[in-house]
Amino acid sequence: MLNKYRSHNCGNLNKKHLNQIVTLSGWVHDIRIKKFAIFLDLRDSYGLTQIIVKKEDANFDTLKTIKNESVIQVTGLVVERKVANLKIQTGEIEVVGQAVKVLSVAKAIPFVINDENNFTALEDLRLKYRYLDLRRKQMFDRIKFKHQVISSVRNFLNSEEFLEIDTPVLTKSTPEGARDFLVPSRIKKNAFYALPQSPQLYKQLLMISGIDKYYQIAKCFRDEDFRADRQPEFQQLDMEMAFVSQDDVMQLVEKMLEQLWKDLKLEKIDFPLARLKYQEAIAKYGSDKPDLRCSCKIDTLFSDEDLTLRGFWVSDKFNDKTKKAVLRLVEQHQGKNFLVYSKEKGKIIFSSNAKITFSDFQIAAISNSAPKEKDLCYLTYEANDSGAIALGAIRTYYILDSEKQQNHQDFLVNINKYKLLWIVDWPMFESVDGKISAAHHPFTSPTNPEEVLKLKVSDTEKLLAVQSAAYDLVMNGYEVAGGSVRIFNKALQAKIFQILKLDASTVDAQFGFFLEAFEYGIPPHAGIAFGLDRFVMNLTNGSSIRDTIAFPKNNSGVDLLTNAPSSVDLKQLEELGLKILNDKN
């Protein structure tokens, strides 16, 4: 856009502009002072342009003292570079400055911005000066890429006749798994809003309202423990459709992804995507979000009465470092009977349970399962899925550990490759501390609603065998989207609440408005939600969703830039009827 600050941006000048007078504005990316001239790289959102200011220029002495990241305006003549720099878009030209104006002087910056190869700033420092961190090309590219993802999916969904509809951010507290962030009401004393963990109930109410297809880029809030792929507030691509089946949703998502891959020119993937049943994913990979860039699978070697022996082979030595890492993972995932077999030694070389013994036939079964080039087999001998899950954690450890990748080619993954698949046929319920809870959320439909209506609330074994019409999209070892067919029968929804031990008064207080809507005609409906930050993290080969969010919180939930959360004035608390209780402990 032509205005008083610039006639062009720093990324679009080339040989077509030779001998033209142009005006550029931007940040001093790098400055090199020579005896007879100053060379500086001027940067804006669009790129870099080299500027030459000769000694005879009136601004020469001013620029000699200026620091990187100061903001200047340059008017000058476009000339051809003697030696082109093909690493940047404007590398065939440079601008000889005729008038230079310093718009804003920067003081010494706390970390280097112009050298990604030697960037060593710690994350807390980067978060404190996030506005500087976002000037780095790597960070800017990620934020821009996220915008491009959102633009692509918006364009696609609009073309499919979806309506983008906002749902409330101040809403009602309902049990959805994580803790709510609560907002006290000044008007209604002793009452609180909750920030939404998801737009789940509102999007179902939109279906009841007669909206056929809905989406929004929603802000969601969850007060949960922090990890590299979690934040207290995050963005979600939320979608819901009326009169559709599970297959309809999955096919539309694949169509959307195909367009996204095309728009962003990503490495081609094959559609339709593979589908893997939940139980098969656990048995083969020890995870409900397997990374299929690695071909290693868990084998079921034999079953003996109630116990199943599972294992997978590696080319490795069970040294102290590996042993410590592996046993920690086994313990974390409640693996009780863990063993290690060495093909070279022809025997079990480690067992967490000395009481476990195998016959010669069983030892032969283990040995005969070995690939030629592998010597070590990690094994679990368990009655439930905990053994497979422990092996899955070890498998993931080998995939993520760079040293293991270098030494073991079968775990070496291509970070630029995308492996997506659907996980389907999830359990409807799970047992947590001896109590039945919803594996997804209580609005997910079972695959066989009629059978669930007949089940007794006390029949735990049969309840845990019920499958749900839920589906997760997994990419490179991360769940990037999850959805389900929803319940649209009031009796079934009431039955699910009953199974979850929610009494009538609790249901009425928390979901009465929702259940009442069931009485006015509710269509069959289904939906899905993408965790946008996590999705973009995977697409950009990032290691933390903090790098895909402009202003994230750190690992302790603190915004180091603004120092939020912070204390507030006592008068504000009084208006809300709140009082801080001092914790003397």
Residue 80 C-alpha from the chain's centroid: 45
CA distance 276 to 424: 6
222 annotated as belonging to a binding site for a ligand = yes
| Long-range Cβ pairs for the range 194-200 (8 Å, 24+) | 195/169, 195/170, 195/171, 195/221, 195/233, 196/167, 196/168, 196/169, 196/171, 196/220, 196/221, 197/221, 197/222, 198/236, 198/238, 198/529, 199/167, 199/236, 199/238, 200/176, 200/441, 200/443
CA distance 437 to 431: 6
306 annotated as belonging to a binding site for a ligand = no
224 annotated as belonging to a binding site for a ligand = yes
N- to C-terminal Cα separation, the chain: 60
CA distance 565 to 554: 12
Element (H, E) at 220: strand 213-221
In the chain, the amino acid numbered 41 is: D
247 annotated as belonging to a binding site for a ligand = no
- Which residue's entry shows tokens 């109930």? 201
486 annotated as belonging to a binding site for a ligand = yes
CA distance 64 to 101: 13
Helices and strands (H, E) in the chain, number of each type = 17, 22
Q: Is 425 left (phi over 0), alpha (psi -120 to 50) or beta?
A: left
373 annotated as belonging to a binding site for a ligand = no
Q: Which two tokens stand for residue 353?
A: 């349970």
**Residue 281 phi, psi (nearest 5):** -60, -40
533 annotated as belonging to a binding site for a ligand = yes
CA distance 296 to 285: 8
17 annotated as belonging to a binding site for a ligand = no
Cα separations in angstroms, 576 against 170, 171, 191, 565, 572: 16, 17, 10, 18, 7
Q: Is the dihedral of CA 43, 44, 46, 52 positive or negative?
A: negative
* CA neighbor of 288 nearest in space, from 472, 411, 430: 472
CA distance 329 to 550: 33
* CA neighbor of 486 nearest in space, from 171, 239, 221: 239
The answer to whether 241 and 256 have CB atoms below 8 angstroms apart is no
**Which residue positions form the known binding site for ATP?**
222-224, 231, 479, 531-534
**Which residue positions form the known binding site for L-aspartate?**
176, 222, 440, 486
**Which residue positions form the known binding site?**
176, 222-224, 231, 440, 479, 486, 531-534
